[in-house]
Each structure stands twice: as C-alpha cells, then as structure tokens.
Structure 1
Amino acid sequence: MDIFYASLLSLFVVVFSCSRCFGFFKSKLDVDVKPPPGGRGWPVIGETIEFVTCGRKGHPEKFIVDRMTKFSRHVFRTSLMLEDAAVFCGPEGNKFLFSNDNKLVQVWVPASAKKIIPSLEGVNQTVLKTVRNILKPETLREYVPIMDMVAQKHFETGWEGNNQILTHKLTKNFTFLVACKIFFSVDEPEWVNKLSVPFERLAPGLFSIHLNLPGTLFRRALKAGAFINKELTAIVKKRKSDLANGKASPTQDILSLMLCDDYGRLMAETVVADAIMGLMIGGYDSTSSTCTFIVKYLAELPEIYEGVYKEQIEIAKYKKPTELLTMEDLSKMKYSWNVACEVLRLVPPTQGTFREAISDFTYKGYSIPKGWKLYWSTNSTHKNPDFFHEPKKFDPSRFDSKVPITPYTYVPFGGGAHLCPGKEFARLEILVFIHHLVRRFKWKKVIPNEEVIFNLVQPKVAKGLPIHLHPHKP
C-alpha cells in the first residue's frame, strides 16, 4: 500500500512538473519581464525543501541571509509551496508589503489551508474588522481577571505537586483553556478535551501537501477542521438563541461581542465559527510556543529570571491574597514584557507569511507579475546586526522606551491590514502566565542542549522542554 501511494505521488510530481514548466515558458514568451535575481530550484518543489530544512536544523535565517548575500538585500526570486515567489527583505520590503495590503497585494494562503478552513478564501475584510474592533485593550481589560482565574487553576492542577513537567504540553493546555473560556465561556473538562485533540491535528495540515489520502497530514487536518467547525457552529447557533431570549450577556465573552457587533450580526454562523477557529489557532499554537520559549530562556539566564521575579513579587506585594490581576497590574510588568519581546524577536511565533500580487508592479527596479506569491520573513531583520546589535544575545533592554527600534524591523505579529488581530490578547495572556510561573517556581532544564526546530507553523523545542520544578518556599 505504501508503494502504491509513493508511485501515485511520483506520478503527480511528474505531471505537475511538466505543466508548470510549460506554463512558465509560455509566460516568458508572452511577457517580457525582468524578475528579481534568484533561482527557482528543483521542478515543482522549488526550494521548499531547503527552506524547511534550514528551519529544522535550527537556523531558519540561513535560507534568507544566504540569498540576500548572493542575489539582493532587497528582494530575490525563489519557488516555495509549489509557487513562483519573491521574498521581500529588510524593513523596506516589510513596509512595502504591509503598506500595500489590499492595494497591490493581498494575503495568500495555500490550497490546503483554504480547504481546511473555507472562510480563509479571500480573507473576509468584514470579519477582520469585527475581530479587530473587539480585541482592543479597552475591551479585553474586562477579561484579565478571568485569565487570572484560569491561570491559577491551571498551575494548581497541572504544575504544583510535580517534580518534573513537559513544558510545551502544559503551555498548550493553558492557552487552550484560556481561549475556550474567553472566546465562548466553555471550561467543562470533557468538552475541552474533546476539542483539543482535533486542534492538535489542525495546524500541521495547514501548510502540508494538498493530497487527500489516508494517513496524510492534510487528510487528518481536513477531518479535524470539519469537526471543529461543526462543534463551534452549534455553539454559535445556541448563543444567538440565548442572546435573543436574554439568557446570555452581550459582553460575557468574545463570541457574544462578535454576535452583537454591527458587522457580526450579518455574518453567517459558519463564518463566525471559522473566525473563532482562526483566533484559537493563533492563541493556542503561537502563544503556547512563546510561553514555552520564555520558560526556556528564563531557565538558561538566571539574571533575567531574577529581574522578572523581583518585578512580579513587587506587583503581588500590593495585592490581597484573593485579589485578581487587573489591566493596571499588567501595565506595570514592563521588564517582564521586554523579556517576552526579546523571546519574540529570537523565536517569533511565525517565520513570516505570504501575500499575492493582485496586479503587475515594479519594486526596486524588478518586475513582479500579477499572481506571484510574495513572502516576508522576520529572519531578514530580527537577527540582522544592521538593526539589532549582537543579534544572538538575549537582551531585554533593546525594548526600553529610551532605545528606538528601526520601524518595520521588529515584526513578530506581522503588519499592515493583516497585523495579527490577537496581538493584545496574546500580550495579556503571556503576562498572566509569567506572573504565576515565576511567583511559584524556579526550574532547571532536563535536557541542557535541547534542539530548537523551526517550521512554517511554529517553532518548537524538539522534546517539548522537560524541566525540573523547584517551588518557592512559602
């Protein structure tokens, strides 16, 4: 059976390669363009394997830096995800793409992701506007105490009383619990567990090969996406009914806020469900990854840990034992957030994202044809010594307000019209996590030199970052 699928895949590669090559040469005959310098790599797969391999070896910036050095520090040509692509580099490249969202370029996701989450097709601007309108600091401040309650319960049941834990598993559990509670007021363990398994299968399939065959990442993610949408659509329908009958509060969670928003009222139930799904993917995978790497760096850098610990103890000193955290408390966690920002610089939750040219245009003297995929990468600036002195050094002072950061060089959440709408939500969640983590424990890594792997979905520590816990004495 394995041989059959291998043969089928090989046939697909050959046929697709021929069609791609023919289409490429035809376009060259029809249009006289001067594309950016670079190479397309292998037929069909292009340079995707090398792009992914660099990340798996822990050096995702190598793919970008090598080609910036060889071809151009502004833009170079390649082929990724079975598509002709141009990689825009540096702050100028980031600014150009972000500033031209929905003008010259639009967000692009591969066919696999659009099949798994259908509403990603065209990325509905009304949905984005609704989500951004809701996830503002002044709105989210009401949910900080709820995050705090979830965090307290999580640390009491998942961390305390254990000599050793698997960090990434527990951070994913934490961010998923917070998402379920804040997004749609669900915290029943049975339901949360039922939904967490499909979410585990969802993200890996979003950027997988679009082959709907048994055992593939895409097939697993496709089934998971359908199941999640069905469950969330049922919740949306019930909430609409409860709001109409006065059984639910218009402000009790993100779902109610969406359904009571002027734009949200017009959305189909499945679209609302997909929007919530998208938010949960970001809040679940991306934020849990950042929390995991915060644990990693605090274990490796005792002086940084002490700075965070002192700040959090100072904040707790003025709180009553049962008093919950507030937005004002989080606003005082300046050093802790600087530490988180440095983690986001060194290990951003995504390496970059794709846009698509919606018309022909010229950039830095090179022609970009309509339909080309355009990729921006954090790795052209985040670890670039031109913008960050000693870029490999962990230095939270980079983010002191006294030290200006060159615009468009620090972009862990993207930018432009598609700036991550959950940025503020992630900030609050990370700070609540740090507060409870350092006040309760010191810790030591079980595997001193555990490998870090970067991929298109999120960075991760190879073995999940097992740590020995050392509770603070009362």
Structure 2
Amino acid sequence: MVTFLIALMIKLFRKISISSINPSTLPPGRTGWPIIGESLEFLGTGRSGHPEKFINDRMHSFSSHIFRTSLFYESIAVFCGPIGNKFLFSNENKLVTSWWPRSLYKIVPSQPVANSPEAMSMRKLLLRFLKPETLHSFVGAMDCVAKQHLNTCWENKSQVLVYPLAKSYTFALAWKLFVSIDDPIEVAKLSDAFSVVLCGVISIPIDLPGTSLNKSIRAANFIRKHLLEIIKQRKIDLAEKKASPTQDILSHMILTYDDDGQFLNEADITDKILVLILAGHDTASAAITFLIKYLAELPHIYDKVLKEQMEILKSKAPGELLTSEDIKQMKYSWNVACEVMRLAPPVQGTFREAMTDFTYQGYTIPKGWK
C-alpha cells in the first residue's frame, strides 16, 4: 500500500509539471479513468487475442500518425506507422531512450535500467555468448528438441492448437539451451509458473494480494528458487569437471567476469536468465504461429518450403541432426519466415521515454512521457 501511495504522489507531481504545457499542443486522444487510465481496455484487447484493436480504434478516432493515452500510471504518446518508427529509432538516446513498465522492475528487481552502465555490461556479456560459432553449436540441440516436440505433440493428431504448442516448444528449447533442463515434468512446472509471470509484466503496477502483479512476483520467486538450486549444483559439477564451461548460457554466466573483474552472484544470474526467457518466449512463439498460418493458407508457398526441406533431408543419414551448414541451405525457407514477420510482426510495439520536450507532427511530447 505504501508503494502504491508513493507512486500516486509521483504521478500527481508529474501532472503538475506537465500542466505548464498548453494542452492544445499535446497529441489528440484521451486519458481514460483517473489513475488507471485506459489500462483495462488495453489489457482486455490483448487477452482477447486482438491487441491491435486498441491501437487501430484510436488511430481511426484521433490520428493515424500519433495519439495520446494513459497506461499503467504513465502518460503515453503512441507513434504509428513506418514514419513514427523511423523517427523513434533515428532519435534513440537523443530524444528518447528505452523504457519498460515499472511492473517489470517489481518482478525482476535486479534488472538494470535500460541504457544504464549495468545494462550495457549485460549486453556485452550476452554478445560473448551469442557469437555465431556458439549459436552454430546449438543447431543440433535445437533439432533434437524440435523432433521430440513434433513426435509428442503433433504426430497422429487430427487437429492441433498451434499457438499453445509453439509456446510449449519455445519454452522447452529455452530451458534446454540456457540451463540444460530437458526433463518434461520439470519443464512443465516451470512453464506453468512462467505463464503467471508473463501476465504481470504488462499490468497495472499494484502489488496487492490477488492482483496480476502480485501473482507474477510470487511465480517469479518460485522460478528463482528452482534456478538457485540448479546454479549451486552446476558450480559443483563445473568444479568436478562433470559439466562443460560452454554447454549453455548458465555455465557461461557462472564462469564469466563482469567489467569490474567480479563473477556474477547467483541472484543476478537467476534474474538475467528470467529476463532472457521473458524477452524471447512470446515473440518466437508468435512468429512460429503466423508462419504455420500462412503456410496453411498458401499451399504453393508450402510446397516450395517442403521441397527445400526434403532436399536437405535427402542429404542426411538416418537420425543425423541438422548442422549450421544445413541452415545456410534454407534460403527460401528463411525468406518466407522474414516475409511472415513483415506481414505479422511478433512485437506490436515497444516502449521509449522522452528525454526532453520535443515536437513531432506539430504536437509537443513532454519530457518523461512514454
């Protein structure tokens, strides 16, 4: 309750500071209910499976270029279309900077603020691990997980729901590559908890019993506890040469120094792995789902993709796993995947924070707006 009151006071002070700006110069739009703004409607369209409806309705009512709203205690300016995206990306760290809702920082308290020195250090750490030669070594493991998933969840099924199965696959793959977990029962327990975590990432940031954020924090703590046990055992296995320093991102994090020459502590490692899975889970699942949708709707495209895949299969011995060289041969398949992501982007939008007052399309965007 104290946190809620402090957040409310900060919000009120922000409104006072913004009141000096002529309201007629702000983007068109509406702010919805006091305090919560239009958060409930925004979340409702997402949970109904049509997140774009919230944006499209306001583009139609106010402007196809920009409109204002209020979400999660924040004043929001929504930039629309390619021109809006180009403006934001070309002014990164000039007029705007990366930002995430405060609910994320309540779920993952040690997550560094976007573009902070700590965040830059984290990117450097990941780049060391996500080098091309490292990723190439994972192709076989990814192939193995995919085959197991298809045999278990797709084969001999007359009908399937693609999106839940795609989420199941990407989640199992993430735990395999990040921490070498492949036990189906263990993965299922973590998956259930992770689904609860996801519901609180974009939510009204009120941590009270029964709220999405409160449930999300508790689920994240459950995952952390499980990860801490894995980390402690991995340290023992590494010391006894029972685990490889390069087998997954967990080993890499345990053995890598930060910029200050210090090893990451166990709590930081758990949160970094949690954030990595949060960042890629839904986007990969959405991309796979839309890929299958378009292949089903366009049989002539499906036939060409199938032909390319079968040619690669013919070059392999029975049971032989894919390699990075095989992936390079999937040129048509990759072009199809890229076109699908253009037609149906896995991410509907992302957040930025105004670093200073600036003007766009004749409207004023105040400092601090998201």
Query: Structures share a fold, TM > 0.5?
Result: yes
Aligned 1:444-463 pairs, distance under 5 A: none
Q: Is the 8 A contact 1:361 1:369 kept in 2?
A: yes
Distance 1:136 1:252 in 2: 14
Aligned to 2:229: 234
**1:287 partner letter:** A
Distance 1:188 1:287 in 2: 21
Q: TM-score w.r.t. structure 2 length?
A: 0.84
Q: Is the 8 A contact 2:45 2:51 kept in 1?
A: yes
Corresponding position: 1:257 with 2:257: no
Q: Is the 8 A contact 2:11 2:73 kept in 1?
A: no
Structure 1 residues 358, 142: CA separation in 2 closer, same or farther (over 3 Å shift)?
same
Superposed CA offset, 1:58-116 (max 9, x none):
66545445555665554333222331111223334323333444444332222222111
Q: Is the 8 A contact 1:40 1:84 kept in 2?
A: no
**1:120 partner letter:** Q
Measured after TM superposition, the shift of residue 203 of structure 1 is 0.5
Corresponding position: 1:38 with 2:28: yes
Aligned to 1:399: none
Q: Give secondary structure in 1 for the equivalent of 2:351.
A: strand
Aligned 1:374-393 pairs, distance under 5 A: none
Corresponding position: 1:118 with 2:118: no
Q: Give secondary structure in 2 for the equivalent of 1:352.
A: coil
Measured after TM superposition, the shift of residue 251 of structure 1 is 0.9
Structure 1 residues 22, 221: CA separation in 2 closer, same or farther (over 3 Å shift)?
closer
Aligned 1:179-194 pairs, distance under 5 A: 179-194=174-189
Of residues 312, 319, 323, the one that matches 1:322 is 319
Aligned 1:309-388 pairs, distance under 5 A: 309-373=306-370
Q: Give secondary structure in 2 for the equivalent of 1:87.
A: strand
Measured after TM superposition, the shift of residue 289 of structure 1 is 2.6
**1:38 partner letter:** P
Structure 1 residues 107, 240: CA separation in 2 closer, same or farther (over 3 Å shift)?
farther
Q: Give secondary structure in 1 for the equivalent of 2:347.
A: coil
What's the RMSD between the two structures over aligned residues?
3.2
Measured after TM superposition, the shift of residue 316 of structure 1 is 1.0
Aligned 1:42-57 pairs, distance under 5 A: 42=32, 43-52=34-43
Distance 1:40 1:208 in 2: 19
Q: Structure 1 or 2: larger strand share?
A: 1
Q: Give secondary structure in 1 for the equivalent of 2:110.
A: helix
Aligned 1:103-142 pairs, distance under 5 A: 103-123=94-114, 124-142=119-137
User: 36-45 or 113-122, which moves further after superposition?
Assistant: 36-45
Q: Give secondary structure in 2 for the equivalent of 1:160.
A: coil
**2:245 partner letter:** P
Q: Is the 8 A contact 2:255 2:263 kept in 1?
A: no
Q: Is the 8 A contact 2:29 2:62 kept in 1?
A: no
Measured after TM superposition, the shift of residue 137 of structure 1 is 2.7
Identity rate of aligned residues, in percent? 52
Measured after TM superposition, the shift of residue 29 of structure 1 is 5.0
Measured after TM superposition, the shift of residue 186 of structure 1 is 1.5
Unpaired runs of 5+ residues, structure 1, are 1-7, 374-474
**2:79 partner letter:** F
Corresponding position: 1:143 with 2:133: no
Distance 2:235 2:25 in 1: 51
Distance 1:22 1:277 in 2: 33
Distance 2:342 2:52 in 1: 12
**1:355 partner letter:** R
Structure 1 residues 237, 359: CA separation in 2 closer, same or farther (over 3 Å shift)?
farther
Kindly tell me the number of residue pairs found equivalent between the two proteins.
361
Q: Is the 8 A contact 2:38 2:70 kept in 1?
A: yes
**1:93 partner letter:** G
**2:31 partner letter:** G
Measured after TM superposition, the shift of residue 122 of structure 1 is 0.9
Aligned to 1:458: none
Measured after TM superposition, the shift of residue 225 of structure 1 is 0.6
Q: Give secondary structure in 2 for the equivalent of 1:356.
A: strand
Of residues 268, 271, 274, the one that matches 2:271 is 274
Distance 1:179 1:29 in 2: 46
Structure 1 residues 70, 36: CA separation in 2 closer, same or farther (over 3 Å shift)?
farther
User: 354-363 or 314-323, which moves further after superposition?
Assistant: 354-363
Distance 1:287 1:273 in 2: 21
Aligned to 1:157: 152
Structure 1 residues 329, 213: CA separation in 2 closer, same or farther (over 3 Å shift)?
same
Q: Structure 1 or 2: larger helix share?
A: 2
Q: TM-score w.r.t. structure 1 length?
A: 0.67
Q: Is the 8 A contact 1:109 1:120 kept in 2?
A: no
